[in-house]
Amino acid sequence: MKKSFPRTAIVVLLILAFYGNVLGWSCKTHTFIALEAGVKNPESACFPDVSKEENDDLLGPFHWHNAYPSATITPEYIDQYKVTGKPIELDPSAKKKITIKVPDYSGVLYWKIVDLYQRMKGKTGWRYNYYLFNIAHYVGDLSMPLHNFPHGTTPASDGKSYSEVGNWAKENHGKFDSALDSSLPLKGEKREAFRNMVTPVQITSVDDIKAEICKVANASIALANKCYSEKRNMTKDEALRQVALSVSLLKGIIESTRKKEPGPK
């Protein structure tokens, strides 16, 4: 009897085919983060990297924030990078302007997570899943050190260019992206050891999620600085600790936003 190829495996292969040179944790790592956080169809956490290819200049900044090397992320810092609608006049003869949310040039990853958290609360069914798959991806991006660091000669969030740091980050980005690829999926004792790294996160408000974003972002910036100062890639243990931060936060978001079924009266 001929065995059918698992549908989930086909989806993952299609995602990987499109994934190409996109910068960020690999699809394998994004899938692992979503799986460990309890997301059904965890490979769907890779979709935002595919969709952003349609308009990378506009959608790309949702995936990162080029914080300057000495930055400390605070809730007030996050609020500086809110994305608001701006009227764009594409055709002077048009009677109506188009309003587009244009992200800051230094990236708006932190704001995007807050935005999705607010949107997914109270949603159910496919609407909830849409926001969940997206926030799963961006929470994953948050723990990738070089998604919180200068990149190339692009100005960082303070408006300055850190070319030496940025060029190092750009050159080594791919190595960071795939740091865990040869180790995933974790099995047996390694998986249990990883799960012990995941800590409970309680989120009941926007202030709570901002505080948790700050913790992960600052840990990512600290590791990026350490690796840069030592001119090395992060180790697999360091990468696992970073990924555990994303899993912890994502589990907290799911617990906070998923509607509970009413119990028996």
In percent, the amount of the chain with pLDDT more than 90 equals 76
Stretch 114-120: mean pLDDT: 97
What 3-state class would DSSP assign to 203?
A: coil
Stretch 216-220: mean pLDDT: 98
Tokens of 82: 């809110």
Angle between helices 125-142 and 109-120 (to 10 degrees): 160
Q: Do residues 254 and 123 touch, judged by C-beta distance below 8 A?
A: no
Tens digit of each residue's pLDDT (9 = 90 or more) over 83-93: 877 767 767 67
Task: Examine residue 103 and say whether the peptide bond preceding it is cis (omega within 30 degrees of 0).
Answer: no
Residue in this structure with the two tokens 């617990």, named with its chain if needed: 255
Integer angstrom CA distances of residue 71 from 18, 46, 102, 171, 204:
34, 28, 23, 22, 27
**pTM higher than 0.85, yes or no?**
yes
Tens digit of each residue's pLDDT (9 = 90 or more) over 142-191: 999 999 999 999 999 999 999 999 999 999 999 999 999 999 999 999 99
In percent, the amount of the chain with pLDDT more than 70 equals 87
30: closest CA among 129, 179, 176, 140? 140
| pLDDT, the chain, mean | 89
Residues written for the chain: 265
Q: What is the pLDDT of residue 15?
A: 40
Q: What is the pLDDT of residue 196?
A: 97
Tokens of 128: 């909830």
41: closest CA among 17, 10, 19? 10
Q: What is the pLDDT of residue 174?
A: 95
Q: Do residues 65 and 148 touch, judged by C-beta distance below 8 A?
A: yes
Any idea where the domains of the chain sit in the sequence?
24-257
**Distance from chain centroid for Cα 75:** 18
Tens digit of each residue's pLDDT (9 = 90 or more) over 7-46: 444 444 344 333 334 457 999 999 999 999 999 999 999 9
- Is a pLDDT exceeding 90 seen at residue 65? yes
- 24-257 classified as CATH 1.10.575: yes
Torsion sign, CA atoms 145, 104, 109, 81: positive
Tokens of 225: 């600085």
Query: Any long-range contacts for 72-77 (C-beta under 8 Å, 24+ apart)?
Result: 72/218, 73/110, 73/148, 73/213, 73/214, 73/217, 73/218, 73/221, 74/214, 75/207, 75/210, 75/211, 75/214, 77/110, 77/214
Tens digit of each residue's pLDDT (9 = 90 or more) over 69-116: 999 999 999 999 988 777 677 676 767 777 777 788 899 999 999 999
- Give the contacts of 17 (CB within 8 A, at least 6 positions apart): none
Where residue 260 falls among pLDDT bands split at 50, 70, 90?
Answer: low
